[in-house]
Amino acid sequence: MSTPQPASVATTKVTPISGFPEYLPSERIVEQRFLDVIRETFELHGFSSIETRAIEPVDRLLGKGGDTDKEIYGVSRLSGDDGDGAKWGLHFDLTVPFARYVLENSGKLDFPFRRYQIQKAWRGERPQEGRYREFTQADIDVVDVGELSPHFEAEMPLVIADVFSRFPVGDFVIQVNNRKIPNGFYQGIGLTDITTTLRIVDKLDKVGPEKVSAMLVDSGATSEQAGKCLALAAIRTHDLSFVDRVRELGVTHPVLDEGLESLAAVIRTAMSHAPGKVVADLRIARGLDYYTGTVYETQIVGQEDWGSVCSGGRYDALASDGRNTYPGVGISIGVSRILGLLIGKGLVTASRSTPAAVLVALRDDESRDESVAVAAALRARGIACEVAPSAARFGKQIRYAERRGMPYVWFPGAGESGDEVKDIRSGEQVPASADSWIAPAADLRPTVTRTDV
């Protein structure tokens, strides 16, 4: 990836724009592989793809997803507006456009509607490691009309566990909580400003328990109440024992009961279908106000300092048009965040910079037709290849392939009985026919591997 530097408008000197990462071809192959895994897994789970336009009316963007007004990129024609008075901005996530899409097409969609969406989004914030101003997200959501069955909240982590198991990123853990647990718990110990309390407890990772305790007391809690809040946030179990651990704190409230029951259902499903991948973590809050039930975060084991790379939750009203309310549950993979870190730190690399597995060599300029025919025959059987750009001596043609990481060079008419193909890694050259030669599956496409394990 390019190193962030200030933008330049000079035509002969070109420098990257900070926060707008671009990949070199071999890095892009890594990105494509991750995106392919995401799409394939989402589709295996029966999610339908949609794409929304890059822009939304600014009024729709403002006030959604919290305090984002300063982060929106406005869009307008350089020569003036389009005459319809609309003010547009680039979307800063995929949830706001999806909510609008559901309202706009509610009569044409089948509910419950399972959709995935893999697109870029834009935020005008200060770029830093793993945080970009242009970035790709991959979202799934299930949305229904009026009521959403709670089992969808248990389904989300199974899909995400399936995706991350296919990534070359090693171990990961999906942390789940239910907003009703802290909500009910805080009410049960006599706290009334739930939002402030949540917000303070959410700082645990950053400032530690002592400071959180002090901030809670500053906000009006007794030190005993603050202690209970911290005790709740410390509970983290892979099984259903979190329920007893909460009960031991001696707090009761009907909303707390609801939350515990709901989280237990999610963890129970995960124990059966994604064992070891999901943990009940009562510290997880998620900042966004529209989450009302289950909330999710995901960490890569050993890379906890990267923060959550996949987050989401349940919301009672994704959208509402006055007549109907559309509750939903969704989760979003921060693709650019994961890849920026993996690629930036050189943790995942591709075996070559081109999809081509084979370079078809050129004996002389007169025989280009023959080489083009060989290439066509290979492609017809799904083998990506290109013809050498010039009839340089074979050593130079081999180096052309080598530099790009292509494993094979094909020599039309090189053998006594026809063509030959050379594995340029081993140097082995054998007779072969373009109509029958089989490339090892591992060579057919570039391999993408974790390099530090």
Give residues 370-429 in contact with a copy of itself (rule: CB under 8 A). 372-373, 376, 379, 382-386, 389-390, 400, 403-404
Shortest distance, position 184 Cβ to a copy of itself, whole Å: 25
Q: Does residue 54 bind a copy of itself (CB under 8 A)?
A: yes
What residues between 210 and 239 interact with a copy of itself by CB under 8 A? none
- The residue assigned the tokens 């080489």 is 371
**154-173 binders of a copy of itself (CB under 8 A):** 158, 162
DSSP characters for 237-269? ESSTTHHHHHHTTT---HHHHHHHHHHHHHHHH
CB of 172 to a copy of itself, least distance (A): 18
Residues between 96 and 125 that touch a copy of itself (CB under 8 A): 100-101, 103-105, 108-110, 112, 114-115, 120, 122, 124
Assess whether the previous peptide bond of 275 is cis (omega < 30° from 0). Answer: no
Residues 39, 45: Cα–Cα separation, whole Å: 10
**Between 309 and 383, whose beta carbon lies closer to a copy of itself?**
383
Q: Is 77 in the site for a copy of itself (CB under 8 A)?
A: yes
50 binds a copy of itself (CB under 8 A): yes
DSSP 184-225: HHHHHTT---HHHHHHHHTTHHHHHHHHHHHHHHHTT--HHH
> 46 vs 141, 318, 333, CA distance in Å?
11, 21, 17
**Measured between alpha carbons, how far is 439 from 408 in angstroms, rounded to an integer?**
9
Contact status: 209 vs a copy of itself (CB under 8 A): no
By beta-carbon proximity to a copy of itself, the closer residue of 179 and 352 is: 352
Whether the CB-CB separation of 176 and 266 falls below 8 Å is answered with: yes
CA distances from 111 to 235, 313, 326, 404 (A): 36, 19, 10, 48
What's the min distance (Å) between Cβ of 73 and a copy of itself? 5
Q: Which residues pair with 328 in a beta bridge?
A: 143, 315
The smaller minimum CB distance to a copy of itself, of residues 29 and 424, is found at: 29
- Give the binding range for a copy of itself (CB under 8 A) out of 12-20, 165-173, 181-189, 411-419: 12-20
**CB of 123 or CB of 283, closer to a copy of itself:** 123
The footprint of a copy of itself on residues 24-43 (CB under 8 A) is 24-25, 28-29, 31-32, 43
The strands making up 429-431's β-sheet, listed across from edge to edge, are 385-387, 358-360, 408-411, 420-423, 429-431
Task: Label residue 436 exposed, middle or buried (CB < 10 Å: 0-12, 13-18, 19+).
Answer: exposed
| Using rule CB under 8 A, residue 369 touches a copy of itself | yes
C-beta contacts of 366-370 below 8 A and 24+ residues apart: 367/391, 367/412, 367/413, 370/412, 370/413
Q: What character string, x for contact with a copy of itself (CB under 8 A) and - otherwise, covers 275-314?
A: ----------------------------------------
Binder among 4, 65, 344, 355 for a copy of itself (CB under 8 A): 355
Q: Which range touches a copy of itself (CB under 8 A), out of 192-200, 305-313, 316-324, 325-333?
A: 316-324
Based on the number of CB atoms within 10 Å of its own CB, is 321 exposed (0-12), middle (13-18) or buried (19 or more)?
A: exposed
> Does 55 help bind a copy of itself (rule: CB under 8 A)?
yes
Of 225 and 336, CB closest to a copy of itself: 336
